[in-house]
Amino acid sequence: MTDLLLLPGDGIGPEVTAQVRRVANRLANDLTIDERPFGGTSFDQLGTPLADETLAQAKAARAVLMGAVGGPQWANAPRDKRPEAGLLGLRTGMGVFANLRPAICFQPLAGASSLKRELIEGLDFMIVRELTGGVYFGQPRFIEDLPGGGQRAVDTQVYTTMEIERIARVAFELARGRRNKVHSAEKSNVMETGLLWRRVVTDLHKREYADVELEHILADNAAMQIVKNPKQFDVMVTDNLFGDILSDAAAQLTGSLGMLPSAALGAPGTPGLYEPIHGSAPDIAGKGIANPLAAILSFEMALRWSLDRADLADKLYAAVGAALEKGARTPDLGGALTTLQMADAVLAEL
């Protein structure tokens, strides 16, 4: 069995993933690591963004870590052949439904946010995003011509009790190990799926998690509160669309998207999918200046959640913090270190 499957992907993905391999070789050289093409790179080489062999290997690994997918060169590819289709197919094929996106501010970076230091210093909350349902996957979806001219587009937002309950359970369990508070974000005031979401979360809380503090919040208010007072949050659970938007807003609070990892988890005993949230950043691809810390911290999450090495995860997290404390900065953080040099700074602390 492969312990860690790397899917470098496109843009800066291969650059930051290469630094993950260096860190893994130093920190846990007993891990077996393999690599496969993915996304646009896979489309160019194999004619598909997600080859059957790649998906099979991902499902057989203990953890999968991807770099990023997408780029303007694939903008005109058929929708089912675009890099993003490969990512959706990978998530669905692996059965990962719970996306964990931490918004953490390392102390040395408290001044890097666009918000005031006092709002950001000590920030540590987790957004739990439902990943395989909702409007991104709902049917029917189509664009049709109208008789009188023009067109009509339809996307369908769909959720079932099972889908809502399993993601809410992840959030409640996480909160029990943190500060014991969950905010559930939806739009129950205008959406039927939001109304069902609130009912299911409320019922599960009453049955199994009454010891955890639960607060319901409308998703638009959640967006405002994330900017106004982000430290009020511990764990926030929400659907696929709102989670996509709110987690990016929360991520930017910390000063740079280049700092933040994510995990996508499925049923116990199945492999997790880990990835930096920064995307492929084609504007800086190939320049060697991308921040590798989000990818390295994604590996930290893999060590903790899939590889049963919390001890090594703690060491890696501390090493990243120590490197930042000593002034290591890539351009996105206001510094001048290259991708390689930033990884060197972390390796020096290990």
d(CA 297, CA 305): 12
The tokens describing 35, both together, are: 């690599």
d(CA 61, CA 63): 5
Q: Residue 271 gets which letter from DSSP?
A: P
The per-residue DSSP string of 308-341 comes to: S-HHHHHHHHHHHHHHHHTT---GGGT----HHH
In the annotation, is 220 catalytic? yes
Q: Write the CB contacts of 96 (distance below 8 Å, at least 6 apart in sequence).
A: 131, 132, 264, 265, 266, 270, 272, 273
In the annotation, is 181 catalytic? no
Residue position matching structure tokens 């197919």: 89
d(CA 45, CA 48): 8
Question: Per the residue annotation, which of 155, 248, 315, 344 is the catalytic one?
Answer: 248
Question: Per the residue annotation, which of 59, 136, 155, 315 is the catalytic one?
Answer: 136
d(CA 278, CA 33): 23
Q: Residue 165 gets which letter from DSSP?
A: H
Q: Where are the alpha helices (DSSP H) in the chain?
A: 13-27, 40-46, 52-60, 83-94, 117-120, 161-176, 192-208, 219-228, 240-252, 293-305, 310-325, 339-349
Question: Per the residue annotation, which of 3, 234, 239, 244 is the catalytic one?
Answer: 244
The answer to whether 218 and 198 have CB atoms below 8 angstroms apart is no
Question: Per the residue annotation, which of 3, 10, 187, 234 is the catalytic one?
Answer: 187
In the annotation, is 155 catalytic? no
The tokens describing 63, both together, are: 């953890």
The tokens describing 219, both together, are: 């998703």
The per-residue DSSP string of 45-101 comes to: HHSSSS-HHHHHHHHHSSEEEEEE---GGGTTS-GGGSHHHHHHHHHHHHT--EEEE
Question: Per the residue annotation, which of 220, 231, 315, 344 is the catalytic one?
Answer: 220
Catalytic residues: 136, 187, 220, 244, 248
